[in-house]
Chains A and B, each alone.
Chain A
Amino acid sequence: MNRFLLPLSIFVVVVGFLAVGLKLNPREIPSPLVGKAAPDFSQPQLYDREKVFSPADLKGKVWLLNFWASWCSGCKTEHPVLMELAKSGEVPIYGMDYKDLPEEAMAWLRQWGNPYSVIGMDDAGRVGINFGVYGVPETYVIDKQGVIRYKQIGPLNPDTVSQKIIPLVKQLESQ
Chain B
Amino acid sequence: MKWILLIVVLCVSGPAWAGEARPLADDPAAEARLKHLAVELRCLVCQNQTLADSNAPLAEDLRREVREMIAKNMSDKEIIEFLVSRYGDFVLYRPPLKATTTLLWVGPFVLLTIGATALVITLRRRAHKVVDAVVSEEEHRKVEQLMAEGGKRS
Contact = CB atoms under 8 A, between A and B. Distances in A.
Interface of A: 26-27, 29-33, 99, 124-126, 128-132, 134-135
Contact of A99 (B57, B65, B86): B57
Main DSSP-derived SS at the A contact region: loop
Contacts of B62: 129
30 contacts: A29-B87, A29-B90, A30-B88, A30-B90, A32-B84, A32-B85, A32-B86, A32-B87, A32-B88, A33-B85, A33-B86, A99-B57, A124-B61, A125-B61, A126-B61, A126-B65, A128-B58, A129-B61, A129-B62, A129-B65, A129-B86, A130-B86, A131-B86, A132-B86, A132-B87, A134-B45, A134-B58, A135-B44, A135-B45, A135-B58
B55 interface: no
Interface residues of B, number: 14
Given A132-B87, A134-B44, A134-B87, 20 more contacts: A26-B47, A27-B47, A29-B87, A29-B88, A31-B88, A32-B86, A32-B87, A33-B86, A99-B57, A125-B58, A125-B61, A126-B65, A128-B58, A128-B61, A129-B65, A130-B86, A131-B86, A132-B88, A135-B44, A135-B58
Contacts of B58: 125, 128, 134-135
Contacts, number: 41
Nearest to A33: B86
B126 to A, nearest CB: 15
Contacts of B61: 124-126, 128-129
A131 B88 CA distance: 11
Interface in B93-143: none
A156 to B, nearest CB: 20
A26 B48 CA distance: 11
Contacts of A30: 88, 90
Contacts of A99: 57
Interface string B50-92: 0000000110011001000000000000000000111110100
Contacts of A132: 86-88
A132 B84 CA distance: 9
